[in-house]
A and B are shown apart, each in its own frame.
Chain A
Amino acid sequence: MKILVCISNVPDTTTKVTFTDNNTKFNAAGVQFIINPYDELALTRALEITEKQGGTVTAINVGLADAEPSIRKTLAIGANDAVRINAEPIDAYFVAEQIAAYAKSEQFDLILTGRESIDYNGGLVGGLLAEMLGIPSVNVITSIEVENGVATMERDIDGGKEKVSCKLPLVASAQKELTEPRIPNMRGIMAARTKPLKVVEVSGDLITSATVGFELPAAKGGVKLIPADQAEQLIELLHNEAKVI
C-alpha cells in the first residue's frame, strides 16, 4: 500500500489577516504557519491504514523552503518520506499539475488531501489531481477503510450519510470527522532528522490565474439586544432600522 498525502502550509488559525502590495498579496510578516488541519487528518488516517496493513506514506508539498518546518512535522508525525516541489503554490491548477507530474512516476494506491486548505479555501486540488491522473475522486470523506484493493468510504450528504466504494487507485479528500489529529512525540522528532525530504524542481510553468485583489469583510457592527418579551420592538427595528422585513 503506497499512500501519498498532499500537505499545504497555511497561516495558523489565530492569524490576523492583512495584505500588502496594493491588496494583492497576503502579508506573511510575523505569521506562524502550520500544516493545513484537514491535511493533518488525511496524514493521520494514512498512517492508521499503513500501520494496520503495511505500506508507506509519502507527504508532498508544493512550496518554497519556508514550508519545510511543516513538512518536517509530517515526518515527525510518522510519514516515511516527503517531497517538496520547489515553487510558490500560485493556484490550485498549478499545484495539482505539479503533484500529478510527481504522482505519475510513483504509482500510488491512494492519494489523500484535505477537503480544502484553510487559507484560500478553494477545495480544488483533489478533484483536479484525480482528473489529471485519470483516476476517480471522492470528496469530503468522513471515514475510509481499504481492503483487497477497494476503498470503502463514508460522506455526509444532506440529511444523511452516503457509503461509497471505489477501486484503487483514487483520490479522496478528508473531512473533519475522518480521525483525530496526531501530536508528534520526541521519538518521532528525532526519527524525522534522518528521513528523506526530497526537493524536486518544477515541471512546466502552467500558471492560469492571477490575484487581482483581496478585500477584508466589513467589520462586525454593534449588536442590539432586545428582551425576549418585547417582540414588537424587534419587529419594528427589523422593519424600520435594519430594513430586512
Chain B
Amino acid sequence: MSTEKAVSTAEFHKANKPDLYTHPDYYLMDELLTEEHKLVRSMVRDYVKKELSPIIEDMAQQAKFNYDMVKQLGDLGCFGPQLPVEYGCGGMDYITYGIMMQELERCDSGVRSTASVQGSLVMYPIYKFGSEEQKHKYLPKLAKGEWLGCFGLTEPNHGSDPGGMTTNFKDAGDGKHVILNGAKMWISNSPYADVAVVWAKNEQGKIKGIIVERGMAGFSTPETHNKWSLRASATGELVFNDVKVPIENILPGVEGLKGPLTCLNSARYGIAWGAIGSAMDCYDTALRYSKERIQFGKPIAGFQLQQKKLAEMITEITKAQLLTWRLGVLMNEGRATPAQISLAKRNNVDLALNVARNARQILGGMGITGEYPIMRHMMNLESVVTYEGTHDIHLLITGLDITGENAFA
C-alpha cells in the first residue's frame, strides 16, 4: 500500500447544490450510440452525481486524493473496460471506453486522469506487451481497483523528447534480477500507486517496460505539491536508487519508444472524449446561468455578445462530438492511426479550454468561485493540454503525417 495517508469520501465537505448536468446533443448524436453505450453513460453519470459531484470541489480545493474513488471506479468497471473479460476487464468496445472517460472528465479531469492512467497506461501495456503470468497477476487486481497503478515515462530532463531518457537498468549478476536507477517526474497516481509501469533503457540502450512494485527497496514516490491544476489527482515522482527488480517483471513483448507510444495512443484517445466532457459541463453550466442571471432587466442570455459565446461553444462541441465518434468507430475497427488520434486530442483539448474561458466570462464574478465547476475545469485543462503530448507536439505529428517532413528536431 501507499506511504501517503489515504483520504476517504467521508472526509470531504459535501456541497448541497444539486448537479443538474444534462449533456448537449445538438445533432442527435445519441442516435449513433447503442442502447448499451447509453446504459454505460447513465451508470457513470449516476455514480458521478451521487458520489463525486457533492465533494469534487472540496477534493480539488484541498488537493487531497480521494482513495475511495479507486475502489468505486473499479467496482463500476471504469478501469480497462476495453480489455478482455478473461483478465477481469469489461470486454467492451472503444466507444464505451470513450463515453466513460467523457463522463468522468465531465466531473473533473483529475478523476478521468486516475482512470485513464490505470486503464490505458498501466493495464494496456501489461495486456499488450506482458507475459501470460504478468497479465494474470496484475490485470484482475488493477481492474477491480484493488491496486492502483502509474506510468513512468517523463523525466526531469526529458518531457516531449522521452527517447532521451536516462533511467536505466543493468543485470544484477544473479541471473534473477536487474538493478534499476533513475527518476521519473510528473507521474499521475504515483504517490498512491501499488505498481508502476516504468520505461527505462537496458544495457544496450534499448527502451523496455518494467513493472516496479511498491515496497521494493530503493523505490520511493514523493508527491508533487502546490499544483494549480489537476488538484483532485495525485501527481508525484518515481525515484529508483539501485532498485532490485525481478527479471520476470520486464515486459517481454516490446522494445523501443514504440512501447510507451502505443499506450499513449490509447490514453490520448480517451482524452479526446474526456476533454469534450469538460467542455460540455462548462457549456451546460454557462447556458443555465445565462438564462437565470438578469442584468439591465433581462436574462444575459438575451444579449448578442453572450449568445455569440454560447453559439460558438455548441458549434465547437458538436463538431468535436462528431469527429470523436468517428474516431471511435475507426478504433473499434482497428483502423485509427496515431496521427488521427493526435488530431482529435489536440483539437478537443484546445476547444475545451476555449469553451471554459468563455463560459467563465459568462458567469462574471461567480465564474471564478468554487460554486461552479468552470474555473476548476479551466485550470485542469492546462495540464491536459500539456500531458500526453503538448498542443505543439501534436501539431508537429499532424504536420509530419501530412507533409512527410519531420519538424521535431
Contact = CB atoms under 8 A, between A and B. Distances in A.
A187 B78 CA distance: 11
B77 A186 contact: yes
B38 A12 contact: no
Interface stretch (A69-77, A85-93, A137-145, A236-244): A69-77
B389 interface: no
Interface string B47-86: 1001000000000000000000000000111100100010
A207 interface: no
Contacts of A203: none
Nearest to A189: B39
A12 B81 CA distance: 27
Contact of A186 (B35, B38, B81): B81
Nearest to A69: B35
Interface string A181-215: 00111110110110000000000000000000000
A156 interface: no
A184 B90 contact: no
Contacts of B90: 186, 190
Contact of B42 (A14, A73, A187, A192): A73
Contacts of B81: 186
Interface residues of A, number: 19
Interface in B23-40: 25, 35-36, 38-40
Given A186-B76, A189-B40, A190-B91, A68 B35 contact: yes
Given A12-B22, A68-B35, A73-B42, A186 B92 contact: yes
A32 interface: yes
B409 interface: no
B88 to A, nearest CB: 10
Nearest to B50: A183
A69 B35 CA distance: 6
B85 A185 contact: no
B10 interface: no
B7 interface: no
Nearest to A186: B77
A72 B35 contact: yes
A70 to B, nearest CB: 10
B402 interface: no
A184 B22 contact: no
B141 to A, nearest CB: 16
B22 A14 contact: yes
Contacts of B39: 69, 72-73, 76, 184, 189, 192
A186 B77 CA distance: 5
B38 A184 contact: no
A48 B382 CA distance: 45
In order of increasing CB-CB distance, the 6 nearest A-B pairs are: A186-B77, A186-B90, A183-B46, A185-B76, A69-B35, A183-B47
11 contacts: A12-B22, A14-B22, A32-B22, A69-B39, A184-B43, A185-B43, A186-B90, A189-B39, A189-B77, A190-B91, A190-B92
Interface of A: 12, 14, 30, 32, 34, 68-69, 72-73, 76, 183-187, 189-190, 192-193
Interface of B: 20, 22, 25, 35-36, 38-40, 42-43, 46-47, 50, 75-78, 81, 85, 90-92
